[in-house]
Amino acid sequence: MVSNVTLCLGTLFREINNVECLITRKIGSIILLVSMFSIIFNVRFIYWSSYHRHLRFRHYSLVLSMVLSSTSVIIVIVPSIFIQCLSCHRLCSSFYCQLEGFVSYLNGCVHMFTLMMISVIRYATVFETNIQNRFIDQHSYWTVIVCWLFGLIFALPPLFNWNKYTPEGIGFHCGLNWFDRSLSSLIYFILAFAFIYFIPLVVLLVINIYVYCKIRSLLNRATRISKSNLLLNISYQKHQSTSLSSSSKSSSTTKCEKLGFPIEANSMNLNSRLAIRQMRTLQLNYFMR
């Protein structure tokens, strides 16, 4: 009797039928196309940034770290996955499974910590805190090193029996053994969920929502001030037009003065000066804020 179950690195997998083989080949082709596009984009970004150094932003080192990280994932993981999808056969190599699981999990942790650091830098940029800006400008590469160190802290324990990188899904890719119920694995899962997923996600949500609300309030204040300035400019132009029209009647007013009729002071010019002065004070108050 022929069994349709195979053993791969201590895990039982069902044999792949013809329909699943056709689907995996299509998925492998899509993964290959997306990977080629990502490689081209990463190379173009590195080439562009090397020739436009004056346009580099504050968190450029973190973005460059993510680009290099994604490139390493594509180089290490995509070839084996494409070969397995194309041949519909599992490699079942213990060394390569450990390497593939380590690289993918390490880069996933690094990306999560990097996104959290980019949000912190965005917060410091929006609120213009001098201490944080000075620290980030002087120690930008240290943030990258910290992200990679935290990623290594959580990616290395499965190599030392705190869990294990095993084939998952249909067996074409290796990751953590989520079915391990040992005490060390449970402690590792709790710490990984707290420090890799929950805390960075909370920091991302809180900082981005706070920055969004702050920018929205600043934009609303700026629009109100611009509207008031526009109204002042319109009133000033009206005063100018009335003063010009009153100057055309200067001959009649001189006649009235000769006849002894009282003439009021030039309130139009006074009001226009007051409007200009008020507009300037509003602009100064806005810039001081």
pLDDT at 119: 87
Which pTM does this prediction carry?
Answer: 0.72
Q: Is position 283 within any domain?
A: no
30-42: pLDDT as tens digits? 999 999 999 999 9
Report the amino acid identity of residue 271.
N
Query: What is the total count of domains within the chain?
Result: 1
Q: What is the pLDDT tens value at each position of the chain, 289 positions in all?
A: 445 777 787 777 888 888 889 999 999 999 999 999 999 999 998 888 888 877 777 678 888 899 999 999 999 999 999 999 999 888 888 899 999 999 999 999 999 999 998 888 888 777 765 555 566 666 678 889 999 999 999 999 999 988 899 998 888 889 999 888 899 999 999 999 999 999 999 999 999 898 888 888 877 877 777 767 766 777 666 666 666 565 555 544 454 444 444 444 444 444 455 555 555 555 445 444 4
Question: Within a domain: residue 90?
Answer: yes
In a domain, 256, yes or no: no
CA dist 120 and 204 (Å) reads 8
Q: Is residue 232 part of a domain?
A: no
CATH classification at residue 100 = 1.20.1070.10
Assigned domain for 276 exists: no
**Residue 176 resides in a domain:** yes
Give residues with Cβ within 8 angstroms of 144, minimum separation 6. 61, 62, 65, 114
Report yes or no on 58 lying in a domain: yes
Domain with 23, as residue range(s), is 7-180
The answer as to whether 210 is a domain residue is no
Structure confidence at residue 221 (pLDDT): 78
Contact 55, 45 (CB under 8 A): no
The pLDDT value given to residue 92: 85
